[in-house]
Amino acid sequence: MSSEKVKQNIEAIQLWLQDNVILSDERKEQYVQWCEDLTAKFEAACQTPLKIGLIGGTGVGKSTIINSLAGAEISVTHNERPYTNKVIVYHYLDSPQSQTANEHMISCKHDRQDISHIILFDFPDYDSHLFEHRQMVQEVSKQLDIIVWVASPEKYADQAMIHMMSELLQSSQNYCFVLNKTDQLQQDETAQIIGHWHILLRQNNIIEVPIFSFSALNHDNTFYDFQNWLFKKRGEHELKEITRANIDNQIQLKTKQIRQQIDCKKIAQMRNDLNKQMNQLNTFDSIRQKDILEIISPDALTAIHEYLSIQSRFIWPIGLSFNVMGRLKQVRMKNPVNQVSTGSGDIFLKTIDDAITHIQTHPGVSDSNISLLDTYKHFIDQYQDPRQISPLLGKIGLIQSTYFWLKQWVFMSIPVFLCIIYLSGIDQVPSVESIGIGSFLVGCFQIIVKLFQPEGLVAMISLLFIEIFISMQLASQWHKKLAKKSQDLYQILSRYLCKQLMITLHDRLQPLIDWAKQAQLDCDKMNAFD
């Protein structure tokens, strides 16, 4: 598996761990910690630099190659070499080279990002020093991941050097040969030298070795082949380190462990169950719609009637008749539906609660106290007092009541008006010219006088009876009207409250449904990990 893939896997698991809803917080924390440790291990493995040693005779171009790889002058070339018997180690800023440094090495930092993942060991030239420090070279070369033997056209065939190489290479698995300064040769000369070199190497049992020929000074294409070869080796090295750190295995073991802990089949079953319960809950709506108000408040109809009565505008004789009539009739409004079992809602919701109990005990569910029955009871408690229900109706019927108020005035005034006409003598209609304050006062006086005469008394008693009759009629009419209106409002209110109750119950159950949906998605994601 490539390091990129390993990295993607770790990131995917990390993301999954942070976002999943299935694991308990405690478990999540444990796994997130594990993931962080693994990431640190992975990064350390990725950052382990590839150690490349450049060995060769003096002036063959080792330092020039180092500079070319770095893309800048990080190494001093020819004759300016500061240490003639030490290996100069070029490493990126704070790379962990210090752990491997010893008395044979001089450490040299650089800031070239392009080669931050490799460490270059520049050996002292073998012709003057290598043989003197054979042991040192053997020791240092053991640390190397790759040995690059650099030669120039004039020095490639040195037998002692080739012999030395075959000895060194026994302890190294990765090596290559570089013929530098090919710009000083013709093309066919380069091919000739390479062919000759192959033969020499084979004679010394050095076979299947890559040989690169280029000019480090001119940066020709073959130089980039060499650079790419090194970087490829660096990729392989990274992978080897990751394999050594056993990261892939650890991921597989952990994902297996998590899979074992999560019962995806059970979660799918839970989701099914919950959806069924939600459908079941929806049937509650149609069952309860008619009688919810009765369960919530058995006196609701009376309360609505009273509320409407208070809102009605009466003139006092009719108001009095309305009240007296109400008391006489002992107005107790009959509920519009037959007797219902108030306990059936409880039983219904209890069944749903029981069905969702095992889901709520799952560690991933944060709110483990979802009870539809409690929600239902709480809702009912809220509207238990009938006086709380009536205001929900608002100022319904105010316009009708204003119309009724005008009607009362008209009906009550007509008999009074007729009575006044009668008592003032309708046969003696005054002429327009004679109407004035004087004649008005005379008319009033005559009416008062007539009240004490038998004809006046009869008129007043008749008026009284007529007014009482009208009052009773109007009050009775209004009673009927309010009774019908109350029933209508009762139905509307019942539907409205049922809807509110359903919204409340749905809101309570929805988080669980959402959780189950997400849990199933998390399961699918988990199973998709390689």
Distances from the Cα of 375 to the Cα of 153, 259, 367, 508, 511, angstroms: 92, 36, 14, 8, 14
Mode of pairing for the β-strands spanning 87-92 and 118-122: antiparallel
Q: Confirm or reject binding of residue 64 to Mg ion (CB under 5 A).
A: no
Quote the least distance from Cβ 202 to ligand GTP, whole Å. Answer: 26
Binding ligand GTP (rule: CB under 6 A), the pick from 81, 233, 350, 517 is 81
Q: Where do runs of H (alpha helix) occur along 51-181?
A: 62-70, 134-142, 159-169
Is residue 53 near ligand GTP by the rule CB under 6 A? Answer: no
Give Cα separations from 430 to 420, 433, 436 (angstroms).
Answer: 15, 8, 10
Q: Which does 108 bind (CB under 5 to 8 A by kind): Mg ion, ligand GTP, none?
A: none
**Pairing state between β 105-110 and 118-122:** unpaired
Q: Give the whole-angstrom CA distance, residue 311 versus residue 502.
A: 31
The answer to whether 447 and 424 have CB atoms below 8 angstroms apart is: yes
Q: Which of residues 216-255 bind ligand GTP (CB under 6 A)?
A: 216-217
Would you say 128 or 439 has its CB closer to ligand GTP? 128
Q: Is residue 63 involved in binding Mg ion (CB under 5 A)?
A: yes
Rounded Cα–Cα distance for residues 522 and 512 (Å): 15
* Helix or strand run (H / E) with residue 147: strand 146-151
Nearer to ligand GTP, 216 or 505 (CB): 216
Q: Which is nearer to ligand GTP, 216 or 267 (CB)?
A: 216
Per CB under 6 A, the list member of 47, 58, 335, 487 interacting with ligand GTP is 58
Contact call for residue 67 and Mg ion (CB under 5 A): no
Ranges within 4-43 binding ligand GTP (CB under 6 A): none
CB 147 within 8 Å of CB 169 = yes
Residue nearer to ligand GTP on the CB measure, 39 or 77: 77
Angstrom CA distances, 125 to 54, 129, 130, 303, stand at: 10, 6, 6, 109
Partner touching 133 among Mg ion, ligand GTP, none, CB below 5 to 8 Å by kind: none
Rg (CA), the chain: 52
Which of 6, 60, 318, 509 is in the footprint of ligand GTP by CB under 6 A? Answer: 60
Looking at beta carbons only, is 58 or 335 nearer to ligand GTP?
58
64 lies in the site for ligand GTP, by CB under 6 A: yes
- The answer to whether 180 contacts ligand GTP (rule: CB under 6 A) is yes
CB of 220 to Mg ion, least distance (A): 21
The string over 269-296, giving b where at least 16 C-beta atoms fall within 10 Å of a residue's C-beta and e elsewhere, is ebbeebeebbeebeebbeebbbbbbbbb
- Residues forming contacts to Mg ion in the complex (CB under 5 A) are 62-63
Q: Which residues bind ligand GTP (CB under 6 A)?
A: 56, 58-64, 77-78, 81, 125, 180-181, 183-184, 215-217
